[in-house]
Amino acid sequence: MKLEDKVVWITGASSGIGAACAEAFCAAGAKVIISARREELLQAVRERCSVPERVTVCPMDVTDHARHDALVESLSSSVGPIDVLINNAGVSQRARAEDTTLEVDRHIMELNYFAVVSLTKAVLPRMVARKGGHIVVVSSVAGYVGTKRRTAYAATKHAVRGYFDSLRAEVAAHGVGVTIVCPGYVQTEISSSAMLGDGGQSGSTDANIARGIPASRAAHAILKGVTRGKHEVYVGGKEIVAIYLKRFFPRLLARIVRKMPEV
């Protein structure tokens, strides 16, 4: 897909990978819609883009499903029909299973899975009717490999992979593409905004995240994935090898993961 004048809607665009995607897709000629809860940060992201006039700020809490259809309707008439949806908003977890309340498990599932499903269902009928479009979901290496203190997070990232794998098969004949993105460690707010077992925020940045790749690299991999119609995109450092170990040497990987320190 060529991105010139395409309408690209990015969730979780107030920081990290989403903000970097806003800059990258705008620079590639797209009309970009950026969503998240923190409007002032969205405005700052807009100003950082090469052509701010091509960027529309649309503050929203993605878990507010009731607004999704109306938002799609109004954005489609004000900016144009959505050509690409990048489901990127998400939250991580820093707590063991037994220390995580069910409420927190549900919250992570609401944001990382049901909000993604709901927004996708809201844009999909118009894409199918127009016989074209592309939907991206940002999963994770944790969508293949579950590590300690990430039970709910890994569950959501596996869930979106399964959902979008099925969806790809359903919508291919309608000209709609699906890309599942599995980043490794990326330098963003993901660990500081991660949920503790009681619903609090971790507030600190993991060493792995601090040493991760810059968000701009992840954004460029996503952009390439969309333009080339890739089914899956793996982007990160050497931790990406875990995806292949899971496929070919699962017991070896299980031993490695068991010995990894809890972070």
Ligand X SMILES: NC(=O)c1ccc[n+]([C@@H]2O[C@H](COP(=O)([O-])OP(=O)(O)OC[C@H]3O[C@@H](n4cnc5c(N)ncnc54)[C@H](OP(=O)(O)O)[C@@H]3O)[C@@H](O)[C@H]2O)c1
The contact set with ligand X (CB under 6 A) reads 11-18, 36-38, 41, 61-63, 88-92, 111, 138, 140, 183, 185-186, 188-190, 193, 209, 212
Q: DSSP letter at 212?
A: S
Task: Return the number of other C-beta atoms located less than 10 Å from residue 73's C-beta.
Answer: 12
Q: Smallest Cα–Cα separation from 31: which of 12, 16, 50?
A: 50
Q: Helices (H), strands (E): how many in the chain?
A: 10, 9
Residue 153 annotated to the active site: yes
Catalytic residue among 153, 163, 185, 234: 153
Which lies closer to ligand X via its Cβ, residue 16 or residue 197?
Answer: 16
> Min. distance of Cβ 129 from ligand X in angstroms?
27
Q: Report the residue number whose CB is nearest to ligand X.
A: 16
Give every CB contact of residue 226 below 8 A, 6+ residues apart in sequence.
1, 3, 84, 134, 136, 177, 179
Report the run of H or E that residue 160 belongs to, with start and end.
helix 151-171
What whole-number distance in Å separates Cα of residue 216 and Cα of residue 194? 21
Strands 186-187 and 213-214, how do they pair? Answer: parallel
- In angstroms, give the least distance from the CB of 13 to ligand X: 6
The nearer residue to ligand X, 130 or 206, going by C-beta atoms, is 206
Residue placing its CB nearer to ligand X in the complex, 147 or 193:
193
The least CB distance from residue 230 to ligand X, in Å, is 17
Place of tokens 């844009």: 123
Cα dihedral: 182, 148, 211, 47 (round 10)? 60
Contact 108, 160 (CB under 8 A): no
Q: Which CB sits closer to ligand X, 41 or 256?
A: 41
Q: How far is the CB of 173 from ligand X (least distance, A)?
A: 28
Q: Which of 135, 94, 140, 133 is nearest to 116 (CA)?
A: 135
Write down the least CB distance from residue 193 to ligand X, Å.
4
- Residue with structure tokens 């991206």? 136
Distance CA 16, CA 215 (A): 6
Question: Any idea which residues carry the catalytic annotation?
Answer: 153
